[in-house]
Amino acid sequence: MKPRPAAAPTVGFVSLGCPKALVDSERILTQLRAEGYGIVPRYEEADLVVVNTCGFIDSAVDESLGAIGEALRENGKVVVTGCLGAKGEVVRKAHPAVLAVTGPHDTEAVMTAVHAHLPKPHDPFTDLVPPQGVKLTPRHYAYLKISEGCNHRCTFCIIPSMRGDLVSRPVGEVLQEAENLARAGVQELLVISQDTSAYGVDVKYRTGFWKGRPVKTRMADLVQALSSLGVWVRLHYVYPYPHVDDVVPLMAGGKLLPYLDVPFQHASPRILKLMKRPASAEDNLARIRAWREICPDITIRSTFIAGFPGETEAEFAELLAFLEEAQLDRVGCFAYSPVEGAAANALPDAVPAEEREDRRRRFMAVQARISARRLQRFVGRELEVLVDKVDGNAAVARGPGDAPEIDGRVLVDRARWLKAGQLARVRITRADEHDLFAESLLQ
Ligand code: SF4
């Protein structure tokens, strides 16, 4: 067996309670070992102690509280889990110095607390993946997935039936991953999920830990913490709920990219209702106006569906009018396509395929005009861009308003000295419908 590296952090483990608690202990110990922590039998050898408690009867509560007290006295760094952990207030009242308290069957939360207070070791000989994980994106940007599944039931979508309801990743784990990525040289984090604004709803916005500090499992708290990493942070799949307004001031203050990807999908209240869209009752135009007042430079991206079952010509016209009024910066539009298993397929008055495609074309023609006009505001201005690729004297880069793959680009001239993955200042010289053209300000 390969010996554990001398510098590996060590964890002491106290396991109390019934066989179910024992299984939990085994899981946590297995995970700790798999990640390279050393398990030690004495308090004085441990960098941190996990106490798995029992809270079934009063005597078990007393025994558990006694064990926590002993671990605190003998070691000082204690994470509490198990049945008594479910009654967090009892533990915290008796022992306010504990680092974290989690409930039973929650290996992930225990690991998050351990990572927060005793960072995970990385052994280049045994670890299959680098500390920042394996990334399929170029080295300078990375997707940061914050949750899986979705609590909504949009009638055109089958994701909830495939992936289930929303499950938010522990906030400490997400932040640790983001920090690892930033340390590994990633310049841009793209926050993704099925419904970013719902982050934490499933765990009632539980408090997690990052660098020993409490952080709530909530979008605004997460992005506030991410903004301290000193890299670009871009938000995708945000629904227009009122609490989204809380993150726009961070954008105005330069802490977060002034960019919101908000999939509106339609503008007609009747169609939005048929689609069962989240936040369909919100006044989206008022919301957009408010965001622009706080952050005039914000780029708003959205996607729409043309030719949804039952969409009349008048409702489609309502969608075009919304587009004119909203003056969105970046827009994608799909002709409705019946996905097998989607509830919307059973709706009456399907729009014929060629009509759906025709509406999509008309929609995109309106948007091309709007997009061209919106991009003009950048001409003559200096912009910070992230360089994706350099080819001779030309570079392909992106500005704060351009997500990779889906938005436009900034095509930079006189760029011989630039390198992929570098942030650079450029002056915008002209714009077309989708892209900006620029010259590098570095000589
Ligand atoms: S389209 Fe609707 S149901 Fe599907 S993932 Fe998005 S919010 Fe959830």
Which residue has its alpha carbon closest to ligand 1 atom 7?
152
For residue 83, the one-letter residue type is: C
For the segment 335-358, the average pLDDT, to the nearest whole number, is 92
Spatial CA neighbour of 207 closest among 144, 133, 116: 116
Which residue has its alpha carbon closest to ligand 1 atom 5?
194
Of the two residues 55 and 235, the one the predictor is more confident about is: 235
Residue 150 CA: nearest ligand 1 atom is: 8
For the segment 76-82, the average pLDDT, to the nearest whole number, is 94
For position 69, what pLDDT does the model report?
A: 95
Residue 160 CA: nearest ligand 1 atom is: 3
- Measure the CA–CA gap between 11 and 70, rounded to whole angstroms: 15
- Measure the CA–CA gap between 277 and 264, rounded to whole angstroms: 8
Cα(275) to centroid(ligand 1), Å: 10
Q: What is the CA radius of gyration of the chain?
A: 26
Q: Is the pLDDT of residue 400 over 90?
A: yes
Residue 156 CA: nearest ligand 1 atom is: 1
User: What are the φ/ψ torsions at residue 374 (nearest 5 degrees)?
Assistant: -60, -40
Of the two residues 339 and 352, the one the predictor is more confident about is: 352
Tokens of 351: 């729009």
Residues with CB under 6 A from ligand 1: 150, 152-154, 157, 159-160, 194-195, 278
- Measure the CA–CA gap between 66 and 55, rounded to whole angstroms: 12
Mean pLDDT value across the chain? 89
- Measure the CA–CA gap between 420 and 389, rounded to whole angstroms: 5
Pairing of strands 382-391, 423-431: antiparallel
Of the two residues 261 and 27, the one the predictor is more confident about is: 261
Which residue has its alpha carbon closest to ligand 1 atom 2?
154
For position 2, what pLDDT does the model report?
A: 36
For position 411, what pLDDT does the model report?
A: 97
Q: Is the pLDDT of residue 1 over 70?
A: no
Q: SS3 for 249?
A: helix
Q: Facing residues of 215 across strands?
A: 208
Cα(344) to centroid(ligand 1), Å: 13
Of the two residues 318 and 128, the one the predictor is more confident about is: 318
Cα(293) to centroid(ligand 1), Å: 29
Cα(330) to centroid(ligand 1), Å: 20
Residue 237 CA: nearest ligand 1 atom is: 6
Q: Is the pLDDT of residue 355 over 90?
A: yes
Please provide the distance, in angstroms rounded to a whole number, between the alpha carbons at the two ends of the chain.
Answer: 56
Measured CA distances, 224 to 129, 202, 229, 255 (Å): 28, 20, 10, 8
List Cβ neighbours of 157 (8 Å cut-off, separation of 6 or more). 150, 339, 342
For position 19, what pLDDT does the model report?
A: 53
- Measure the CA–CA gap between 383 and 427, rounded to whole angstroms: 6
List Cβ neighbours of 240 (8 Å cut-off, separation of 6 or more). 262, 264, 279, 282, 284, 287
* Per-residue model confidence as pLDDT tens digits over 238-281: 998 888 999 999 999 999 999 999 999 999 999 999 999 877 66
Per mean pLDDT, which range of 63-77, 99-113, 202-216 is the poorest?
A: 99-113
Q: Which residues of 164-191 are buried (b: 16+ CB within 10 A; e: fewer)?
A: eebebbbbbbbbbbbbbbbeeebbbbbb
For position 20, what pLDDT does the model report?
A: 56
For the segment 180-185, the average pLDDT, to the nearest whole number, is 88
Per mean pLDDT, which range of 63-72, 131-140, 315-324, 372-381 is the poorest?
A: 131-140
For position 235, what pLDDT does the model report?
A: 96
Cα(155) to centroid(ligand 1), Å: 9
Which residue has its alpha carbon closest to ligand 1 atom 6?
194
Type and span of the H or E element at 432: none
Task: Using a pLDDT cut of 90, give the percent of the chain over it.
Answer: 66
Q: Is the pLDDT of residue 122 over 70?
A: no
Global confidence as pTM: 0.71
- Asked if residues 80 and 58 have their Cβ atoms less than 8 Å apart, the reply is no
For position 124, what pLDDT does the model report?
A: 54
Cα(375) to centroid(ligand 1), Å: 30
Q: Is the pLDDT of residue 23 over 70?
A: no
Cα(278) to centroid(ligand 1), Å: 8
> Percentage helix, strand, coil, to 5, in the chain?
35, 20, 40
Residue 157 CA: nearest ligand 1 atom is: 4
For the segment 341-348, the average pLDDT, to the nearest whole number, is 91
For residue 98, name the pLDDT band (cuts at 50, 70, 90). very high
List Cβ neighbours of 1 (8 Å cut-off, separation of 6 or more). none
- Asked if residues 273 and 285 have their Cβ atoms less than 8 Å apart, the reply is no
- Measure the CA–CA gap between 164 and 171, rounded to whole angstroms: 20
Sheet holding 38-40, edge to edge: 38-40, 10-15, 48-53, 78-82, 100-101
Tokens of 176: 């640790």
For position 339, what pLDDT does the model report?
A: 79
List Cβ neighbours of 48 (8 Å cut-off, separation of 6 or more). 9, 10, 11, 12, 75, 77, 78, 79, 99, 114, 117, 118
Neighbours of 4 (CB within 10 A): 16
Task: Using a pLDDT cut of 70, give the percent of the chain over it.
Answer: 91
* Per-residue model confidence as pLDDT tens digits over 210-225: 999 999 999 999 999 9
∠ CA(343), CA(349), CA(350), 5° rounding? 65
Which residue has its alpha carbon closest to ligand 1 atom 4?
157
* Per-residue model confidence as pLDDT tens digits over 3-14: 344 568 999 999
